[in-house]
Structure 1
Amino acid sequence: MIKLYSYYFETLLFKFSFGPEQGADTPAWAEEAPFPPLAPRAAIAASSEALAEMLADYPCAEPSFDACALKRSGPNGWWYYHVSWMVWPPECDGGDRSEIHLPVMLNGQVPPYQVFDFENRFEAWSD
């Protein structure tokens, strides 16, 4: 099981957990294949849709894409994209901003996530 954590300013903590049950191992990226089964642009698009859903109830300026990295993790070496977005407060004065990271599995899905209030963030690491 892979667990990733991402903060939204100092207000919320998003916890992503994924493994074979969520499709982390399919499709596999064959060792002889030069490219992964999911194109980076498809991963960015999937993360953009998920980010809009995640932040629908929170005020923010339009997020801007920052980075997309292909990572390998977990005991079985599952590949996934680690997509980063910069999110500014609604006034968008160039000041305080938050970088939100979303995993996208090679099946094109952003795994389920849990949301923790900042005050309860330690619960995210309890399991």
Structure 2
Amino acid sequence: MSTPALPRVLVIGLDPYRVPGPWDPAPVAEATATGLARFVDAGIGVASCLVGLDGSDDIEAVVTKALRSRSWEVVVVGGGIRKPDDQLELFERIINCVHRHAPQAAIAFNSTPTDTLDAAARWLDAPG
């Protein structure tokens, strides 16, 4: 039996079940799970830090705790945080948290939940 790979990559994204609005979060949750499974298949350790927009999180505290939990080689910031114009301030706060608490980590950005490994692999010495 193999031991899970030590986490090298932290993925920061939105918890689709805690994003308000009239939409179905299941497809995004499934795509996120698929994207994270690609890391396992590639033998690359990964951890995720999902935050909600429903007011239940102190987002900076949650992100800071994840960033401080270990040394990260790459931090991937998900498109749900990066893309919507109305999330610009949140995006800036998260990037500044990464800058403060994981200055040694490369920062990467995915386009979809399923290409998260590709985003991290650009900065890792690993297959994508």
Greater Cα radius of gyration, structure 1 or 2 = 1
Q: Which of the pair is proportionally richer in strand?
A: 1
TM-score normalized with structure 1 length = 0.29
Q: Which of the pair is proportionally richer in helix?
A: 2
TM-score normalized with structure 2 length = 0.29
